[in-house]
């Protein structure tokens, strides 16, 4: 099963915690993913104020400065994994340091 992990948190808090060293476990988390051999793709994102949201209405391209959902909680990272089942995905998600302050949404990926 393939899952997209959407890792989100309060961006300000996450930044503070990062500086305070709370994300040191992140290295362990990535190592665990490598060890399990489940990681297909992982990327960290720049903060949400750098986002641009695009809509097309009446054939006109409309741009918004910022993410499509406003708010303090924003996706800051994602990972595409291929693992056994939801239980393994939950185990992996629960190991991510962001879960202590924010959350990880696990979305099953559709078959091609």
Least distance CB 80 / other proteins (angstroms): 14
Yes or no: say if 52 and 68 are a contact pair by the CB < 8 Å rule: no
Residue nearer to other proteins on the CB measure, 59 or 85: 85
Q: Which 74-103 positions form the footprint of other proteins (CB under 8 A)?
A: 84-87, 89-90
Cα R_g (the chain), whole angstroms: 16
Residue nearer to other proteins on the CB measure, 16 or 40: 40
**CA-closest candidate to residue 25, choices 78, 107, 80, 94:** 94
What is the four-CA torsion angle of 30, 34, 38, 40, rounded to 10 degrees? 70
With binding defined as CB under 8 A, does residue 1 bind other proteins?
yes
Least distance CB 93 / other proteins (angstroms): 11
């Amino acid at each position: 099963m393939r899952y997209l992990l959407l890792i989100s948190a309060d961006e300000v808090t996450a930044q503070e915690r990062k500086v305070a060293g709370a994300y040191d476990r992140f290295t362990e988390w990535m190592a665990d993913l490598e060890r399990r051999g489940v990681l297909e793709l992982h990327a960290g994102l720049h903060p949400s104020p750098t986002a641009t949201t695009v809509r097309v209405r009446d054939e006109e391209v409309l741009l918004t400065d910022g993410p499509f959902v406003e708010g303090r909680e924003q996706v800051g990272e994602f990972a595409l994994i291929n693992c056994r089942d939801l239980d393994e995905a939950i185990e992996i998600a629960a190991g991510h340091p962001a879960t202590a302050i924010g959350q990880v949404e696990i979305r099953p990926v559709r078959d091609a």
